[in-house]
Amino acid sequence: MSPPTVPQICLRPLTVAAAPAMLQWMRDPDVADNVGLRSEPSLEKTVAWIERTTADPDMAVWAITAAGAHVGNVILDRIDRHLGTARLSIYIGEPEARGKGIGQQAVRLAADQAFTVLNLNKVWLTVHQHNARAIAAYRRAGFLAEGLLREEFVLRGEKCHAVVMGLLRREFNRKAA
């Protein structure tokens, strides 16, 4: 049995045209729970978020496309040019695109941008302890667990721990990106 084929993954600038799809994704409990959504999403809030983040020099926001279709987003925020660090966030919104390696590939592409274009030294993230699939994907992309933030995340009304993971430029394998 041959492994499943992963579609061609690209990162492109996020635009307001993505707002309706993003709104639909944020209404999916699987996405909303894992990103820690704190308020009811709306088209107006989504458009405002896109406009604010794409204008912020301390953020890099991309739409993830697989075989030409927008399937999710990846974000570098909290960019600290003095420390050379940024926080990474990602979600795959399209349910049929999940579990196919798209997120892992997008993480590697975003890390490549962080290290080569933004000239950062470290990309870090937090992920709730119950998101085993994401933790495994981050490990495959080269991230290492750096610590545990106790009861730092609320998942379906219950507090749980968040795992802090990081990837240094010297650890990143560009050939696999």
Alpha carbons 99 and 92: distance in angstroms, whole number = 9
**Does 91 qualify as catalytic in the annotation?**
no
Alpha carbons 107 and 110: distance in angstroms, whole number = 5
Does an H or E element contain 23, and which? helix 19-26
Quick one: which of 127, 131, 121, 117 has its CA closest to 147? Answer: 127
Residues 6+ away with beta carbon under 8 Å from 140: 104
Catalytic residue among 138, 143, 153, 172: 138
CB-facing half-sphere around the CA of 72: CA atoms within 13 A: 28
Alpha carbons 11 and 61: distance in angstroms, whole number = 9
Cβ atoms 118, 155 nearer than 8 A: no
| Residues taking part in catalysis | 138
